[in-house]
Amino acid sequence: MLEFDARTTELLNIAYSGADITRRRQASFDALQPAPGDVIADIGCGNGLLTAELARAVGPDGGVLGIDISEDMMTAAKARCSDFPQVTFLNGSAESLPLDDASVDKAVSVQVFEYLSNITTAVAEAARVLRPGGRLVIGDIHFDSWLWHSDNPERMQRMMAAWDKHLVERCVPALLPPMFRDAGLVYERTTSETILDTVLKPDGLANMMMILIRAYVVGNDLIPEAEAQAWFDEQEQMARDGRFFFSLTHFVTVGRKPD
């Protein structure tokens, strides 16, 4: 699993403010439909970008509960949300939420469930804390949608397969609809947001993933450093040559707790 230390958090702060990841976050925000006065759980709040956006949407009469297990991420989130007294941060995991039954109007989680060892439990926990009529939104990537062009496709496949080891489940969006139903929720819909880059942008998803993947596969002895660097260098050269191509699809799953 990828460790979200201070250095990783700094990198994510840059990329998560970029257009690529902002579009993913906006898709989840729009599906959640935050309203003034809502109490919302942001499960796996990370660096607090979505938390702050939700705080603005619910206003001073609402509340946002940012929940995360990473102290480094929580520190960044607290700094970002320091002007919002309606935000409260809690240390906890999606599989054991530090919230009472039926205590929130809505719950959202963006790119968290792929790291969980028990997704079924996490969905049940989200359903537990929702009030009747409450909405649950889970945004995650289906990694079978991942396309990345290379002149050395065998090496690219090795790199992508090695990166798979940092997560627990690569196909979360396909699993969620029946899990929602089993947890007593009404499954409403799944929508998609595809990130397609033909330019290697400094604040883009592809650039962030290149840096993270290289560090992860080398640091965990999954790929020799020379091979990982050659892969990285090739992608930078392809970008300079105008031949860069990267595509990955983020899916947003929406459910509702019956009244």
DSSP string, 188-221: EEEEEEEEEESS--TTSHHHHHHHHHHHHHHHTT
For the stretch 162-198, pLDDT in tens is 999 999 999 999 999 999 999 999 999 999 999 999 9
Helix ranges restricted to H, 130-204? 153-164, 172-182
- Phi and psi, residue 173, nearest 5°: -60, -30
The CATH number that domain 6-256 falls under is: 3.40.50.150
For the stretch 84-120, pLDDT in tens is 999 999 999 999 999 999 999 999 999 999 999 999 9
DSSP string, 112-130: -GGG-S-HHHHHHHHHHHE
pLDDT exceeds 60 at position 3: no
Lookup result for tokens 């002149």: 151
Q: Which two tokens stand for residue 230?
A: 């050659």
Q: What is the pLDDT of residue 19?
A: 86
What is the mean predicted confidence (pLDDT) over 45-63?
A: 96
pLDDT exceeds 70 at position 2: no
Instruction: Select from 55, 61, 22, 31 the least CA-distant residue to 41.
Output: 55
Q: How crowded is the C-beta side of 226, counted as CA atoms within 13 Å?
A: 0
- Report which secondary-structure segment, H or E, holds 6: helix 6-16
Of 56-65, 143-152, 202-211, 234-243, the one with minimum mean pLDDT is: 202-211
For the stretch 216-251, pLDDT in tens is 999 999 999 999 999 999 999 999 999 999 999 999
Instruction: Select from 191, 212, 207 the least CA-distant residue to 244.
Output: 207
Q: How many CB atoms lie within 10 A of CB 70?
A: 19
Q: Which contacts (CB < 8 Å, 24+ apart) does range 31-38 have? A: 31/137, 31/139, 31/191, 31/252, 31/254, 32/106, 32/108, 32/135, 32/137, 33/106, 33/135, 34/58, 34/62, 34/106, 36/61, 36/62, 37/61, 37/62, 38/62, 38/63, 38/105, 38/106
Q: Which two tokens stand for residue 52?
A: 């702050």
Domain segments of the chain as ranges: 6-256
